[in-house]
Structure 1
Amino acid sequence: MQRSCRSLSRFLASNRGFCTSSKGSRNDKIVASVLFERLSVVIPKIDPVVYGFQEFSFRWRQQFRRAYPEEFLQKSDARGKGEYHIDFVPAPRITEADKINDKKNLNLIYGFGTTVSIMKVIGDSYGTPKGQDVWHFPEKVYKSEETLRKCTESALESVIGDLSHTYFVGNAPMGHIAMPPGEKNKDTPSFKRFFFKSQVIATNKVDIKSKDFVWVTKDELLEYFPEHSEYLTKMIVS
């Protein structure tokens, strides 16, 4: 029984496509990329259909509501009208960064609903000719890190320096894509790029160390990666 278990283990190890060890049975490189995003700040506007349904539901419930004494209602109406009453002013959906289209400002698109901002850095990317600057996500080739997520954290740390205001969503990647050798750099072997998601937490300023960078919406992201628009639409935009 013990011998058969060892044989099964050797069989699985020899037939595995690739593993978390850099000494895998195949020579395919693994690149860890991170989508660094900021969630929306302002609650999106309610859809007219949803608003109409909520209004109908409220009026329907009013037919069966409990009738309270008049003196109780008077006390309730008087609450909050004293010296401690504060007028609520909602945060604006359009910021100064939106007005001037400052894509290096994290205060963009506060009221974009569930749309997020995604950072991209420009510089050498694995799979592209050396010295050629291209737009890409923060990335790192997986070598000796304990896990693929640790490799991704290292990639983001090399760009922003401090991870204290970041939150990685899960330990597993949100998706991956197989990258064949490019036409301009056929010497680079095929590799697999794994995407992790990380979010900005409790700050409105991130110090990014890169030649250039931008914050864009999900829809604008496709303009920077037209060759992967179908994949990114399924993974991020949808």
Structure 2
Amino acid sequence: MEIDITKPHIGRVYDYVLGGHHNYDVDRRAAAAIMNLVPTYPKWAKLNRWFIQLVGQRWSEAGITNVLDLASGLPTQGHLNDYLPDARILFSDIDPVSVIYGEQILADKPNMRYVQADLREPSSLLAAAAEFFGAERRIAVGCIGIVYMMENDHSRDLLRQLHSFCGPGSVLALSFVMPRVASAAQQLNTAVAPAGIKIYPQTPEEMAALMSPWKVQECRPLVEWLDLDNFLTQEEYESSPFDALGLIAHH
């Protein structure tokens, strides 16, 4: 796998704002540029990470034994493997840095594996998942922190292929960005341009239509999921052109 450290990667930017160490100077510069326009970005990143932890806790309590996680980043402390140590978990990411370090972190866990995958072309990911899970298709899918960086056609295709791959009883956890003002997409994309990505905000209704035939069971702002209504100050919330939501959907 080739690692290009001349261009920032949003996963490594995310790692940096969460206090991680698997990032490069180019990622730190991109993070600084984003925070210059969206000072609350580290708080939104933390909410997203905490939602992963909440989902892991819920899945553990529900006795989940098979997990497919998308755009995983680094499975360090507080990731799904901490909450589901005995589950079979297939992690994935497009970033080779995450894959290389992820493989090292999971080296002594035969029930877990990390693969490189481009979610815009999910066939290789699903082939790896078919090999990993075998005939067991009752799977919990983590799709947290990724679809709002994918064009709608790619998101729709990915989610439909995942639904076809998974069997009855499967569940999906997903986070997305909801616009609060008409110019939300423009403001967000100006902010994240240094990281080389685009953001695609969705209303809850648009998101539900995009992910059909998955059926949305619960959909709420991340601060509500996490019972952190005062995490953002009133000024921070009102100055933000978007809100971050999480949902749980069933097969």
Query: Shared fold by TM > 0.5?
Result: no
What is the TM-score normalised by the length of structure 1? 0.26
Larger radius of gyration: 1
What is the TM-score normalised by the length of structure 2? 0.25
If asked which structure has higher relative contact order (CA below 8 Å, sep 6+), I would say 1
More helix as a share of residues: 2
